[in-house]
Amino acid sequence: WISGLIISFFIGLIVFGGVKRVGKVSEKFVPIMSSLYLLGCLIIIFANITEIPDVIIQIVKSAFSVHAATGGFTGSTVMLALRWGMARGLYSNEAGMGSAGIAHAAAITDHPSRQGFWEVMSVFFDTMVIGTITGLVILVSGIWKAVDLEPSAMAAVAFFQFFGSMGSTLVSVSLLLFVISTIYVIAFYGERIAFFLFGYKVSLVMRCVYISACFLGAVGGAENIVALPRSVVGPDRNTEHNRSTDAVAQSL
């Protein structure tokens, strides 16, 4: 509950500072958290550079194997790919949700197309760069062969395996910055929606409600907390996958 109070206080300072403070904090957080994570990933990949050819061969074989072909013809693989791809994509980069437009609309720019370009780039960077590099880390490190690990815990374990306790610290710091930046941006989205629908007074109430939710999220069960946004953004009725947050915490 102590961490919940600290995060709630910190988020309150940012949210009540308005869109300018949100932008200024993002300017500082995003480069740091992205650089830390990408640097760690690239070190692991280059340390296992000899595994890259085998990884590419394994990806191609798996994609065009008899099992994949059979599943594809019966529709199961396509259905699962669409189901999990859409859920994870929405949960990760908000592509198609329309929520990111709230932030870009608040930017001061010489032409709307410029903000449209940066939004496209953000989706590309999140999915194609961060996602691909994370996948390579998991594959070249061999962590994916551990059948007793939740998929969401594999990257954290790969960092711990390569860097030791420093790897856990690196992932923890990066994850903390990612989470905090997500919290105050989503709070801004909610505030703008409340302002548009009900006016300024309700938008202030929305700020307080969201800050309170930060504390409740810290003291609530991880499974229930993770299931809530997934039920709205990317439906997830599989309780085994809902335990992924606990798995990451235990691996660190």
Q: Name the residue range of residue 62's domain.
A: 2-251
User: pLDDT value at position 216?
Assistant: 82
User: pLDDT value at position 241?
Assistant: 44
| Selected residue with higher pLDDT from 121 and 238 | 121
User: In whole angstroms, what is the distance from residue 251 CA to residue 168 CA?
Assistant: 9
Domain count, the chain: 1
Q: Where are the beta strands (DSSP E) in 71-157?
A: none
- Asked if residue 127 has pLDDT above 50, the reply is yes
| Selected residue with higher pLDDT from 113 and 47 | 47
Render pLDDT for 164-196 as a digit per residue (tens, 0 to 9). 888 888 888 888 888 888 888 888 888 888 999
Render pLDDT for 23-76 as a digit per residue (tens, 0 to 9). 777 777 778 878 888 899 999 999 999 999 988 888 887 766 655 545 555 455
User: In whole angstroms, what is the distance from residue 200 CA to residue 194 CA?
Assistant: 8
Rounded to the nearest 10°, the torsion over CA 97, 102, 108, 114 is: 10
Q: How confident is the model at residue 239 (pLDDT cuts 50, 70, 90)?
A: very low
User: pLDDT value at position 45?
Assistant: 93
User: In whole angstroms, what is the distance from residue 221 CA to residue 214 CA?
Assistant: 13
Task: Give the residue-averaged pLDDT of 127-149.
Answer: 84
Rounded to the nearest 10°, the torsion over CA 18, 20, 24, 29 is: 40
User: In whole angstroms, what is the distance from residue 168 CA to residue 161 CA?
Assistant: 9
Please choose, from the candidates 100, 98, 156, the residue with its C-alpha nearest in 3D space to the C-alpha of residue 125: 100
- Asked if residue 248 has pLDDT above 60, the reply is no
Burial of 187 (0-12, 13-18, 19+ CB in 10 A): buried
